[in-house]
């Protein structure tokens, strides 16, 4: 019952976020931007505009698989973005360029997120097994260790929020300042980026909800030890 109290609201928000990002992207994928530029063209223009010449723009399979890879300095755009001239496509492309700009300017939260990646990868795979073993062994110490490890996962999600929100703000500013979108196109692009941001918020809240649930288990285990 306690699990549902913590997890159900976050789960519902996660489902809504997935629905929202898919429906919003599909809606504005049918609206062509007035300049007729593709996602790949927009990404290249914005990179050059910011003096970033070493970052490549490449297509990647799938839908909504767009990302910036700092390890090889590459903006990867999905099939529905790379060659599309929709408002949704250029918004997503500009968002990924926003991450490239963050990287070039050594934006603090992005730098912190990069440093957290190896810790988070280990913590996400190790925390639950340790928690499970702690439950079977009635060991509050192991449960606490699992919680500490999972806290790193929560921290990663929290640090991700300002990184993503900032990239979206940069995207809107870059698109308008470069004259790629007109003022009446701005609201549509903002809706696409806001829907995408909702997925990161849902992920952060889900992680927090799990952490709170694990804490209740620890407190219960501590009470049993007494």
Q: What is the pLDDT of residues 7-55, one digit of tens each?
A: 788 888 889 999 999 999 999 999 999 999 999 999 999 999 999 999 9
Q: In total, how many domains does the chain have?
A: 1
Counting every residue written for the chain, the total comes to 226
Structural domain span for residue 37: 2-225
Tokens linked to 150:
């999972």
The pLDDT score that the predictor gives to residue 28 is 97
pLDDT value of residue 2? 55
Residues of the chain with pLDDT under 50: 226
Q: For residue 220, what pLDDT is reported?
A: 81
Gap between the Cα atoms of 189 and 193, Å rounded? 6
Compute CA distances 29 → 32, 42, 68, whole Å: 7, 15, 21
Q: How far apart are CA 119 and CA 77, in angstroms?
A: 27
pLDDT at 226: 46
The C-alpha atoms of residue 127 and residue 153 are separated, in whole angstroms, by 9
The one catalytic residue in 41, 58, 79, 96 is: 96
Q: Is 111 a catalytic residue?
A: no
Gap between the Cα atoms of 75 and 104, Å rounded: 13
Say whether pTM exceeds 0.85. Answer: yes
Q: Is-contact 144 187, C-beta < 8 A?
A: no
| CB of 171 closer than 8 Å to CB of 100 | no
């Amino acid at each position: 019952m306690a699990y549902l109290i913590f997890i159900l609201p976050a789960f519902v928000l996660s489902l809504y976020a997935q629905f929202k990002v898919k429906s919003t992207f599909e809606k504005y994928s049918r609206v062509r931007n007035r300049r007729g530029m593709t996602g790949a063209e927009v990404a290249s223009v914005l990179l050059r505009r910011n003096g970033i010449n070493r970052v490549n723009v490449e297509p990647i399979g799938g839908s909504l698989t767009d990302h910036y890879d700092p390890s090889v300095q590459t903006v990867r755009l999905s099939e529905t973005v790379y060659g599309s001239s929709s408002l949704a496509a250029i918004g997503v492309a500009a968002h990924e360029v926003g991450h490239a700009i963050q990287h070039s300017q050594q934006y603090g939260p992005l730098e912190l997120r990069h440093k957290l990646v190896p810790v988070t990868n280990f913590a996400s795979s190790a925390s639950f097994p340790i928690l499970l073993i702690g439950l079977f062994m009635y060991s509050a110490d192991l449960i606490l260790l699992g919680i500490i490890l999972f806290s790193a996962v929560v921290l990663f999600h929290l640090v991700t929020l300002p990184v993503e929100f900032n990239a979206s703000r940069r995207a809107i500013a870059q698109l308008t300042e470069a004259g790629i979108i007109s003022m009446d196109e701005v609201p549509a692009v903002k809706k696409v980026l806001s829907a995408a941001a909702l997925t990161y918020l849902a992920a952060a809240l889900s992680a927090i909800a799990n952490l709170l649930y694990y804490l209740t288990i620890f407190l219960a285990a501590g009470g049993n030890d007494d």
